[in-house]
């Protein structure tokens, strides 16, 4: 989906095609007055995309009822517009400052205190589920030996993860627990981007920042502030290396899909694979 197609769907949904584009990725996100409109990918032949949009709206209602500060849906069900799921959200006030890891911790603590919703079922957090698709999209742009290496890692970490004994009781998680998914408004931090909410090991949410500290340049002091606010450091858990390895494998494979059209992505993919092969857990990984 590109911006032109997203704007066509936006217009068909009754919103001005001149609405401000806020983000373009898995979804196209537009600001339209007091609303934010999220246009999903074409769900024709992929009913799971509409079901995911339905679940995200239901999640917003559930979090509101549970007292968790999060984005709020403006309509209770997604629209289906020219095959695309379209969801409407109340626009948040302008941020008062960028979100920090310490802002994320209390929100995760609230989510991790919840039991699974009775009204709908949350999926498992399938970190490794997209690896084959991403490698297939990479095709001949990457070394077949690297693709095979990542497949072996995927299978190994999937098996290891199935045998983990958690430190925390499993249950609802955000699934992509990064400061970019927190909005700090005048009333404090709120969670945004609910698409990856799952029911799984709570440690999934905590490994994200541990990996950010080692691979993506997160300030160790900011990480310490996060663990202090949450009350526990997942690196103390013996299963941390398994979830970290699974996430690293997925992150590396995700980059591969961009390699055919983006030389910087190819270079970054090779950097990441090399660091995994060498067993160096602190080689810096970069956006591209």
Question: For residues 83 and 89, is the Cβ–Cβ distance under 8 A?
Answer: no
10 Å Cβ neighbour count for 274?
12
Rg (CA), the chain: 19
Q: Is the pLDDT of residue 16 over 90?
A: no
121-168 pLDDT, tens digit each:
999 998 899 899 899 999 999 999 999 999 999 999 999 999 999 999
CB under 8 Å to 227, separation ≥6 — which residues? 105, 233, 234
190-242 pLDDT, tens digit each:
999 999 999 999 999 999 999 999 999 999 999 999 999 999 999 999 999 99
The pLDDT confidence band at residue 18, using thresholds 50, 70 and 90, is: confident
Look at residue 2 in the predicted model and tell me its pLDDT: 86
83-128 pLDDT, tens digit each:
999 999 999 999 999 999 999 999 999 999 999 999 899 999 988 9
Look at residue 17 in the predicted model and tell me its pLDDT: 73
Q: Is the pLDDT of residue 24 over 90?
A: no
Q: Is the pLDDT of residue 72 over 80?
A: yes
Handedness of CA 19, 24, 28, 30 (dihedral sign): negative
Only one residue has tokens 């209602």, namely 61
The pLDDT confidence band at residue 81, using thresholds 50, 70 and 90, is: very high
The CA distance from 86 to 36, in Å, is 10
First to last CA, the chain: 20
Record the pTM: 0.90
For 76-173, list the strands marked E by DSSP.
79-81, 84-90, 171-173
The pLDDT confidence band at residue 282, using thresholds 50, 70 and 90, is: confident
Structure tokens at 162: 């199935």
The b-or-e profile of 70-93 (16+ CB within 10 A means b, else e) is bbebbeeebbebeebbbbbbebbe
């Amino acid at each position: 989906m590109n911006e032109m197609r997203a704007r066509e769907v936006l217009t068909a949904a009754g919103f001005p095609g001149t609405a401000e584009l806020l983000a373009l990725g898995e979804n196209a996100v537009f600001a339209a007055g007091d609303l934010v409109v999220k246009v999903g990918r074409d769900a024709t032949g992929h009913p799971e995309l509409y079901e995911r949009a339905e679940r995200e709206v239901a999640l917003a209602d559930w979090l509101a009822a549970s007292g968790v500060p999060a984005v709020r849906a403006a309509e209770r069900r997604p629209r289906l517009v020219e095959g695309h799921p379209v969801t409407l959200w109340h626009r948040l006030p302008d941020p008062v400052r960028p979100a920090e890891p310490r802002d994320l911790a209390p929100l995760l603590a609230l989510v991790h205190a919840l039991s699974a919703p009775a009204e709908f079922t949350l999926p498992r957090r399938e970190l490794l589920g997209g690896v084959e698709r991403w490698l297939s999209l990479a095709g001949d742009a990457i070394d077949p030996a690297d693709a095979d290496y990542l497949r072996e890692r995927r299978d190994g970490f999937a098996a290891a993860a199935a045998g983990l004994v958690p430190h925390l009781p499993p249950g609802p998680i955000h699934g992509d627990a990064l400061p970019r998914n927190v909005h700090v408004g005048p009333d404090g931090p709120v969670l945004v981007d609910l698409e990856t909410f799952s029911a799984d090991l709570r440690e999934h949410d905590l490994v994200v920042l541990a990996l950010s500290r080692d691979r993506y340049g997160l300030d160790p002091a900011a990480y310490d502030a996060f663990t202090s606010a949450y009350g526990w450091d997942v690196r103390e858990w013996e299963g941390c290396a398994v979830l970290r390895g699974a996430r690293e494998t997925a992150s590396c494979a995700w980059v591969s899909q961009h390699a055919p059209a983006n030389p910087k992505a190819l270079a970054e993919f090779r950097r990441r694979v090399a660091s995994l092969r060498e067993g160096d857990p602190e080689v810096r990984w970069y956006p591209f």
